[in-house]
Amino acid sequence: MARVKVAVLISGRGSNLKALIDAAAAADYPAEIALVISNRADAGGLDYARDAGIRHVVINHRGFADRDSFDSALEAAIVDAGADLICLAGFMRLLGSAFSLRWQDRILNIHPSLLPAFRGLDTHERVLAAGVRFTGCTVHFVRPEMDDGPIIIQGVVPVLPDEDPERLAARVLAVEHRIFPLALAWAASGRLSVRDGRVIVAGGTAPEEMPINPAA
Ligand code: GAR
């Protein structure tokens, strides 16, 4: 079976990249990570790509006059690698709307909240300040607005009493590492379609594929 080639874009630690690399190591996983792009040379996640023998490149946004030229450089590298899907795994740059629309329903982003709540940065601090009882993480198809787009999968994490942002972030991250590989597998095996702004998963989803209130 030909595996779908994926480009993973990162900006930092790369633990979600690592989860995708680990998932793609299975012979029956439908996607192959063909390229890792970081916009920062010091991103720790580049080591995961290097260790796994995956092609990786730094494309520093600061070297470009504007968003469109940065996006064009990203796109050239992605097309050159033969990638058909893009995963944003802690990639902290907003893609331009032309790029997002050209790759519509082929870019997956992970965000550490139950979208559409708590878009943007400092998510866990804001979750705690709001006093919500549950939070979680979301993988969605990218639209031009930040952390916006049709939802593929979410994982739910209870907010414990006396929680602090770091502990909460770690518990949410453990769930991120479960849902991102699953969402990518669904996308790569052609099971996802978008109708009226909502994602349909062909064949449905098993209850154990939807992490609700996990002990993580
Ligand atoms: C993850 O928690 C991811 O959900 C978040 O950045 C972190 C990256 O960690 N993404 C966003 O906030 C996007 N708006 P990682 O580099 O270890 O995967």
Q: What is the pLDDT of residues 51-79, one digit of tens each?
A: 999 999 999 999 999 999 999 999 999 99
The answer, yes or no, to whether residue 209 has pLDDT greater than 90, is no
pLDDT class of 41 with cuts at 50, 70, 90: very high
pLDDT at position 1 is: 73
As beta bridge partners, residue 57 has 37
From the CA of 13, give the closest atom in ligand 1.
Answer: 16
Active-site residue, 111 included: yes
How many CA atoms does the CB half-sphere of 83 hold within 13 Å? 25
* Domains of the chain by start residue, with CATH: 1-103 (3.40.50.170), 111-216 (3.40.50.170)
Separation of alpha carbons 49 and 57, rounded Å: 10
Ligand 1 proximal residues by C-beta, below 6 Å: 10, 12-16, 45, 89-90, 110-112, 147, 173, 176
Q: Where are the alpha helices (DSSP H) in the chain?
A: 15-24, 45-51, 67-80, 97-102, 123-130, 165-188
Distance 169 CA to ligand 1 centre (A): 10
Residue 214 has pLDDT above 70, yes or no: no
181-207 pLDDT, tens digit per residue, is 999 999 999 999 999 999 999 988 876
Distance (Å, rounded) from C-alpha 174 to C-alpha 195?
A: 30
Q: Whose CA is nearest to atom 10 of ligand 1?
A: 90
End-to-end Cα spacing for the chain: 34
- Is the pTM above the cut of 0.85? yes
Ligand 1 centroid vs 14 CA: distance in angstroms?
8
Catalytic residue among 56, 111, 124, 140: 111
Mean pLDDT value of segment 79-93: 97
